[in-house]
Chain A
Amino acid sequence: MSTATAQKKGFGATLWDYLTTVDHKKIAILYLVAGGIFFLAGGLEAMLIRIQLAVPDNDFVSAGLYNQLITMHGTTMIFLAAMPLIFALMNIAVPLQIGARDVAFPFLNSLGFWLFFFGGVLLNVSWFTGGAPDAGWTAYAPLSTTSPGHGVDYYVMGLQISGAGTLIGGINFLVTIVNMRAPGMTYMRMPLFTWTAFVTSVLILFAFPALTVGLFLMMFDRMFGANFFDPQMGGNHVIWEHLFWIFGHPEVYILVLPIFGLFSDIISTFSKKRLFGYSAMVFAVVLIGFLGFMVWAHHMFTTGLGPVANSIFAIATMAIAVPTGIKIFNWIFTMWGGSIRMTTPMLWTVAFIPSFTLGGFGGVMLAAAAADYQYHDTYFVVAHFHYVIVGGVVFGVFAGLHYWWPKFFGTMLSEKLGKLAFWPFFIGFHLTFFIQHFLGLMGMPRRYWKFLPNQDLDLGNLVSTIGAFLMAIGAVIFLINVIVTSVKGEKVSGDPWDGRTLEWSIPSPPPFYNFTQTPLVRGLDPLWIEKRQGNGKMTPAEPLGDIHMPNNSFIPFVMSLGLFIAGFGFIYQVDDKNWLIVGIAGMLITLGSMFVRSVKDDLGYHIHKEDLEKGAGSE
C-alpha cells in the first residue's frame, strides 16, 4: 500500500472501498446518500400525514398507523435526515476550508457514519416487525413507557446507536478544527461555515450525552424493569422531559448553525463581497450556541414548573432573537451594494432569510410563557418549527448541495433544473406551513388523527396538503437534476463559482490527499486575497514532500454491526430471555472489534513525492 495508483474499479471493489473508506470526502458521500434516502422516507411519511388530513373525518390511515407516521416522520427527519445531511456538508467542506488533508480521526469518522447508519436502519426495521414507535418523536413518559409492542424499544435502541455516532463525529470535528488548520489559518480567518461547524460540534458534545442518559433510563424502564418514570413506584416522568429537552433544544441549533455559516459563505461568494461584520457574525454564533443551552424548559411551559422558572426561560429564549437578528442584518448588509449573482445556491439563500425570520417571529411569540398556554401542542407550534427547520435547514441543505456539488462529485448540478425545483418547493413550503399558524390559533391540536368538518378547519388543511404536494414536486425535480447531472458527467474546474475560500483552490473533485502542498493562508477569504493581490493561486506553506495517509478499515462497519445485532437482542429479551444471547453476542462483536483496533498497529502509509509529481490520485 505504499504507492497510490488511479485505476478503474469494478462494482465489488467500489463497494468494498466505500465500506472501508476513511476519506472524509467519501464519507461525506455516504452521509449524503444515506441521509437522502432517509429524507425520502421521512418525506413519504409526511405526505401520508397530509393526505390523511386533506379532508375532515378522513379514514385514509388508521389512528394507530397515524401515530406511527407522525413519530417516525419527526424522528427520521431530525435524526436520520437533517443530522447526516449536515454531516455530509461538514465532511466535504470543513477539512478543505481549513487546508487539511483529512479530519483528525479518519477512523472515527467512518465509525461515526456506520453507527448512525445502523441506528437508522434498526429504527426503520420496526415498520416490518409489528409496528413503528408511536409515542411522538419526543417520546414523553408515561406514554412511551406504556406503549405496547416493541415500537418504542426500536426508538430507544436505534437512537442510542446513531446518537453515539453523532457524538463521535462532533468530537472529530472539534479536534480537526483546533489542530489541523493550515499555517496562517487563525481562528478569526476561518470561513463562517467552519466556525459554525465548530460551535455545532461543541453543542453536540454537551447535548448528546443527556439524550444518551435519557434513552438509557427509558431502556431500563421498558426492558429491564426499572422505575425511573413510573410514579407508582416513586418515579418521575418529568425527568424524561428535562433530559430530552436539555438535549433537544441544543439539537435544533446543532442543525441550524452550520446552515447559518453556509449561507454566510454563499452570500459572500455570490455578492463578491467580504462578509459584513465577520467578527460580529462569529460572536453571534458563539452566543447562540451558549444561549441554546439555557432555554430547554420553554418546551415545558405547561408542565407546571412554576412562574419563576417559566419567566427565566422565557426571557432567555427571547434573548436569542438578538444574536439571530445580528446575523439577519449582516447577511442583508453583505448583499447591499454587492455584485449579486442569482445562482441556485443564492436563490435558496435569499429565500431562506424571510422564511427563517418568519419562523423566528413565531418563536418569540411562543417564548411568551403566558401566551404559550394557548399555543402549546397546537398547529401553531408545528408551523413554527417547520418554518425554522424547513425554511432554515432544508433550504440550507439544498443550497449547500448545489454549492459544493463540484467538490462532492466533480460535476455541476443544472442551474435550470435547480431553479425549476426551487419554485414549487418554495411556494409549496409557505402554502403548507403558513396557514398552519392560523389552524393552530383556531385551536387545532397537533398529533390528532382527524378533525371534524365545519369547524373552519377544512380549507386550511386542504391548502396545507396542496402545498405539501408542491414540495414533493420540487424534491422530485431535484432528484431528476441529480440523475441528469450524473448521467451527463460533465467535469468542471476546481473553481466554478469564482470562490473565495480554500476549497476552491484545488480540483473538483479533490484528489484523495486534498492538498498536494499545504497552502499558506494570508487572511480571511484566502483564495480571494490571492486572486486580488497574488497570482490567483495559493502559495504553498511547505516544499513538495511525502504525504502521510491513513489506512482504510473494515472495523468501523463490524463494530457498528455488532451494536445493531445487540439492539435486537435487547429488544426481544423482554419476550424471551434467550434473546439475551444475541444481545451479548452483538456486544462481544463490538468489544472484540475495539480490542482488535487497540492492539493492531495502524500506521498508515505514504504517498511518495515522486508519485505526486507524476500526478497520483488526481483524476
Chain B
Amino acid sequence: MSSDQLQRLKPGQSPHEPEKATLEGKNKFLGFWFFLGGETVLFASLFGTYLALNGPESNTSGPGPAELFGLELVFIMTVILLTSSLTSVYAIYHMKNLDFGKMQLWLGITVALGLTFLGLEIYEFYEYVMHEDHTFTSDAFGSAFYALVGFHGGHVLFGLLWIVTLMVRNSKRGLNLYNAPKFYIASLYWHFIDVVWVFIFTVVYLMGKLGG
C-alpha cells in the first residue's frame, strides 16, 4: 500500500468508503469508536458530579440554576451546534463521493458554526462571572457547572483546531486513502460533541430551569 495511499481520489472513482478502504483506516475507525466509548464514561462521570452538586445545599453563593440560566441564548447555541453536526454530515457525504472541494466547503461551514457556538459560550461565561457572581470558585455548584460545560467547551475548541488543521494540511493535495480516515474520525468526534451538548442542554439548562 503505503505510497499508493497518497494518490489523489477524484469524483466517480472507487472506493465509495475511502475511510475504511485500508487496514489503517479500519483500525482508526474502530479505535476511535472505542475512544468515544471511554469519552462517554468521562462525561457520564462529570454529569454525575454535576447532578450531585446542583442542589440548593451546594449553591452557597450567587444565584441558583433557575435564576441564572437564560434559555434564549442557550437555545440559539443549541440550534447552531446541531446545525454544525448536519453540515459535517454533508461534508462526509461529499467525502464518500470523493468530492474534495465540496467536502472542504461544508467543513468550513461546520467550523464557522462551531466558532460561533464557542463565542457565545465564552460570552455566557463572561456574563456569569462578571455580573452574576457565579464563578468556578464561588461554590460547589459553580465548580461542577464550569467543569461539565467547560470540558465540553474544551472539546469543541479541540475539535475546531483539529478540523482546521486537517483542512489546511490537505487543501492542496485533495482527498486520498491516507487522509480520508482522518477526516472521517474528526467528523465522528464532532458528532459526539454534539450529542454531549444535547444532554447538557437537557440536564443542565432545561432541568435547571424546571427544578429551580
Binding site for B on A (CB under 8 A): 104-105, 167, 171-172, 174-175, 178-180, 205-210, 212-214, 216-217, 220-221, 224-228, 230, 233-236, 239, 242-243, 246, 548, 595, 598-599, 601, 603-606
Are the CB atoms of A235 and B53 closer together than 8 Å?
Answer: yes
Are the CB atoms of B57 and A234 closer together than 8 Å?
Answer: yes
Are the CB atoms of A246 and B147 closer together than 8 Å?
Answer: no
User: Within 8 Å CB of B136, what residues of A?
Assistant: 220, 224-226
Are the CB atoms of A175 and B31 closer together than 8 Å?
Answer: yes
The distance from the CB of A94 to the nearest CB of chain B, in whole angstroms, is 15
User: Within 8 Å CB of A220, what residues of B?
Assistant: 136, 143, 147
Are the CB atoms of A239 and B143 closer together than 8 Å?
Answer: no
The distance from the CB of A239 to the nearest CB of chain B, in whole angstroms, is 6
Contact partner, B140, options A235, A598, A603, A606, Cβ 8 Å: A235
A275 to B1 alpha-carbon distance, docked (Å): 39
Contact partner, A227, options B6, B139, B162, B169, Cβ 8 Å: B139
**What would be 15 A-B contacts, judged by CB atoms less than 8 Å apart?**
A104-B31, A171-B34, A175-B27, A209-B39, A226-B136, A227-B142, A228-B140, A233-B60, A234-B60, A548-B2, A595-B165, A598-B169, A599-B169, A603-B5, A604-B2
Are the CB atoms of A246 and B57 closer together than 8 Å?
Answer: no
Are the CB atoms of A235 and B27 closer together than 8 Å?
Answer: no
The distance from the CB of A115 to the nearest CB of chain B, in whole angstroms, is 15
A346 to B35 alpha-carbon distance, docked (Å): 37
User: Within 8 Å CB of B49, what residues of A?
Assistant: 213, 217, 228, 239, 243
Instruction: Give 3 nearest A-B pairs by CB, closest first.
Output: A234-B58, A234-B140, A213-B45
A599 to B59 alpha-carbon distance, docked (Å): 46
List the count of A-B residue pairs having beta carbons below 8 Å apart: 123
User: Within 8 Å CB of B48, what residues of A?
Assistant: 239, 242-243
The residues in B between 135 and 170 inclusive whose CB is less than 8 angstroms from any CB of A are: 136-137, 139-144, 147, 162, 165-166, 169
User: Within 8 Å CB of B141, what residues of A?
Assistant: 234
Are the CB atoms of A205 and B34 closer together than 8 Å?
Answer: yes
Q: Kindly report which residue of chain B lies nearest to residue A231, judged by CB atoms.
A: B140
B66 at the interface (CB under 8 A from A): no
A598 to B185 alpha-carbon distance, docked (Å): 13
Are the CB atoms of A239 and B52 closer together than 8 Å?
Answer: yes
Q: A179-B26, A179-B30 are in contact. Are A228 and B38 (CB under 8 A)?
A: no
A234 to B60 alpha-carbon distance, docked (Å): 6
B3 at the interface (CB under 8 A from A): yes
User: Within 8 Å CB of B130, what residues of A?
Assistant: none
Are the CB atoms of A243 and B45 closer together than 8 Å?
Answer: yes
A209 to B49 alpha-carbon distance, docked (Å): 13
The distance from the CB of B77 to the nearest CB of chain A, in whole angstroms, is 24
The distance from the CB of A242 to the nearest CB of chain B, in whole angstroms, is 7
Are the CB atoms of A236 and B58 closer together than 8 Å?
Answer: yes
Q: A206-B41, A227-B137, A603-B2 are in contact. Are A236 and B147 (CB under 8 A)?
A: no
Consensus secondary structure, chain B interface: helix
Residue among B23, B46, B143 with the highest chain A CB neighbour number at 10 A? B143
B101 at the interface (CB under 8 A from A): no
B86 at the interface (CB under 8 A from A): no
The residues in B between 1 and 34 inclusive whose CB is less than 8 angstroms from any CB of A are: 1-3, 5-6, 23, 26-27, 30-31, 34
Are the CB atoms of B140 and A171 closer together than 8 Å?
Answer: no
B42 at the interface (CB under 8 A from A): yes
B70 at the interface (CB under 8 A from A): no
A180 to B35 alpha-carbon distance, docked (Å): 18
Besides A216-B147, A227-B140, 15 other CB < 8 A contacts?
Answer: A171-B34, A174-B34, A175-B34, A209-B45, A213-B46, A217-B143, A217-B147, A220-B143, A225-B137, A228-B53, A233-B139, A234-B59, A235-B140, A236-B53, A243-B45
User: Within 8 Å CB of A217, what residues of B?
Assistant: 49, 143, 147
A605 to B1 alpha-carbon distance, docked (Å): 10
Q: Kindly report which residue of chain A lies nearest to residue B30, judged by CB atoms.
A: A175
User: Within 8 Å CB of A175, what residues of B?
Assistant: 27, 30-31, 34
A104 to B35 alpha-carbon distance, docked (Å): 14
B178 at the interface (CB under 8 A from A): yes
B63 at the interface (CB under 8 A from A): no
Are the CB atoms of B2 and A606 closer together than 8 Å?
Answer: yes
Are the CB atoms of A226 and B147 closer together than 8 Å?
Answer: yes
User: Within 8 Å CB of B166, what residues of A?
Assistant: 598
B37 at the interface (CB under 8 A from A): yes
A105 to B27 alpha-carbon distance, docked (Å): 8
Are the CB atoms of B26 and A233 closer together than 8 Å?
Answer: no
Q: Kindly report which residue of chain A lies nearest to residue B170, judged by CB atoms.
A: A599
User: Within 8 Å CB of A236, what residues of B?
Assistant: 52-53, 58, 140
Are the CB atoms of B45 and A210 closer together than 8 Å?
Answer: yes
User: Within 8 Å CB of A178, what residues of B?
Assistant: 30
The distance from the CB of A119 to the nearest CB of chain B, in whole angstroms, is 17
Are the CB atoms of B58 and A235 closer together than 8 Å?
Answer: yes
A560 to B143 alpha-carbon distance, docked (Å): 28
Q: A206-B38, A603-B178 are in contact. Are A233 and B140 (CB under 8 A)?
A: yes
The distance from the CB of B146 to the nearest CB of chain A, in whole angstroms, is 8
User: Within 8 Å CB of B34, what residues of A?
Assistant: 171, 174-175, 205
A172 to B38 alpha-carbon distance, docked (Å): 13
Are the CB atoms of B6 and A601 closer together than 8 Å?
Answer: yes
Are the CB atoms of B38 and A214 closer together than 8 Å?
Answer: no
The distance from the CB of A15 to the nearest CB of chain B, in whole angstroms, is 28
A205 to B42 alpha-carbon distance, docked (Å): 10
Q: A205-B38, A603-B3 are in contact. Are A228 and B143 (CB under 8 A)?
A: yes
User: Within 8 Å CB of B26, what residues of A?
Assistant: 179
A543 to B52 alpha-carbon distance, docked (Å): 60
Are the CB atoms of A605 and B35 closer together than 8 Å?
Answer: no
The distance from the CB of B51 to the nearest CB of chain A, in whole angstroms, is 10
Q: A209-B38, A220-B147, A236-B53 are in contact. Are A171 and B60 (CB under 8 A)?
A: no
User: Within 8 Å CB of B60, what residues of A?
Assistant: 233-234
User: Within 8 Å CB of A214, what residues of B?
Assistant: 45
User: Within 8 Å CB of B23, what residues of A?
Assistant: 179
The distance from the CB of B75 to the nearest CB of chain A, in whole angstroms, is 28
Are the CB atoms of B38 and A171 closer together than 8 Å?
Answer: yes
User: Within 8 Å CB of A235, what residues of B?
Assistant: 53, 58, 140, 143
Contact partner, A179, options B27, B53, B143, Cβ 8 Å: B27
A210 to B139 alpha-carbon distance, docked (Å): 23
Q: Kindly report which residue of chain A lies nearest to residue B148, judged by CB atoms.
A: A213
User: Within 8 Å CB of B38, what residues of A?
Assistant: 167, 171, 205-206, 208-209
The distance from the CB of B119 to the nearest CB of chain A, in whole angstroms, is 21
User: Within 8 Å CB of B140, what residues of A?
Assistant: 227-228, 230, 233-236
User: Within 8 Å CB of B3, what residues of A?
Assistant: 603
The distance from the CB of B153 to the nearest CB of chain A, in whole angstroms, is 14
User: Within 8 Å CB of B42, what residues of A?
Assistant: 209-210, 212-213
Are the CB atoms of A598 and B31 closer together than 8 Å?
Answer: no
Are the CB atoms of B144 and A601 closer together than 8 Å?
Answer: no
User: Within 8 Å CB of B46, what residues of A?
Assistant: 213
- Indicate with 1 or 0, residue by residue over B82-100, a CB within 8 angstroms of chain A CB atoms: 0000000000000000000
A207 to B41 alpha-carbon distance, docked (Å): 8
- Indicate with 1 or 0, residue by residue over B174-189, a CB within 8 angstroms of chain A CB atoms: 0000100010000000
- Indicate with 1 or 0, residue by residue over B56-86, a CB within 8 angstroms of chain A CB atoms: 0111100000000000000000000000000
